[in-house]
Amino acid sequence: MKTALITGASSGFGRASVEALINEGFKVIAIARREERLKLLKEKFKDKLHIIALDVRDKEKINSELKNLPKEFSDISLLINNAGLALNQDEFDSLSLEDIDTMVDTNIKGFLYIARVIIPILRKQKNAYIFNIGSVAATNPYFGGNVYCGTKAFVRQFSLALRNDLRSSNIKVTNIAPGLCKTEFSEVRFKGDKEKAEQIYKNTKFISADDIAKVIISIINLPEHININEIELMPVTQTWNGFHIEKFS
């Protein structure tokens, strides 16, 4: 039985991917900060799941936990590097330094700490896969996206460059760049303002977390010699908005 490691497994894409991969015959290591959520997953998936409550910004804990995995979960062959967040959607100079740090430290540094400790394990497998969760925000700068857009541009470019580093290995790398998806993402972005978050998804269509899990499953079931470098997906109701031209009044 193959083993996958998923960060951000307590909600959204990560949570949906836990279930989809277990249904696909994987054992899963689920990582997130909210231990109570992980414990509920453990009750459901029992010995198919190993849970680790940690903050991906905590590199010491990542190293100690992931270098001492239970034997039955130690042969990881699939990583979904997914934990991440946006905080606020305002002009850059109104962002707090704390929010800036949280986005950069989670979406870039935490993401790298996880990749750094897992890639040597993936190298030992006959076939391995890394899914990095980027965003359309990487290539479509929007008002108030500033730091978040920048972190996802990092994820995208890192993923593509990592493909070069791993070209003689058995590890494939895919950057997944979703558009509008309904998860806890907007509620986190707007700091618990459920009404504001709900407005984002009102009167339109959106991608679900299960849709993202389905994309991952369909990619891992492609012929072995194919690497999907990048996949961008949006709901049918989302497109680009063109350039903004500011007019003098």
* Residues taking part in catalysis: 148
Does 137 contact ligand 8X3 by CB under 6 A?
yes
From the list ligand NDP, ligand 8X3, none, which binds 132 (C-beta under 5 to 8 Å, kind-based)?
none
Contacts of 64 (CB under 8 A, 6+ apart): none
Q: Are 162 and 130 in contact (CB under 8 A)?
A: yes
Supply the minimum distance, in Å, between the C-beta of residue 76 and ligand 8X3. 26
Only one of the segments 21-29, 39-47, 112-120, 183-191 lies at the binding site for ligand NDP (rule: CB under 6 A); that segment is 183-191
Q: What are phi and psi of 32, to 5 degrees?
A: -170, 175
Q: How many Å separate Cα 211 from the centre of its chain?
A: 14
Compute how many other C-beta atoms are within 10 angstroms of the C-beta atom of residue 249: 3
Q: Token match 């394990």: residue?
A: 121
From the list ligand 8X3, ligand NDP, none, which binds 81 (C-beta under 5 to 8 Å, kind-based)?
none
Only one of the segments 18-26, 181-189, 223-231, 237-245 lies at the binding site for ligand NDP (rule: CB under 6 A); that segment is 181-189
User: How distant, in Å, are the alpha carbons of 8, 102, 148, 214 from that of 113?
Assistant: 14, 15, 19, 26
**Closest CB to ligand NDP among residues 192, 223:** 192
**Closest CB to ligand 8X3 among residues 53, 160:** 160
From the list ligand 8X3, ligand NDP, none, which binds 27 (C-beta under 5 to 8 Å, kind-based)?
none
**Closest CB to ligand NDP among residues 48, 84:** 84
Compute how many other C-beta atoms are within 10 angstroms of the C-beta atom of residue 180: 17
**CA atoms of 106 and 57, how far apart (whole Å):** 6
Q: Which residues contribute to the site for ligand NDP (CB under 6 A)? A: 7-14, 32-34, 37, 55-57, 82-85, 106, 110, 133, 135, 178, 180-181, 183-185, 188, 209
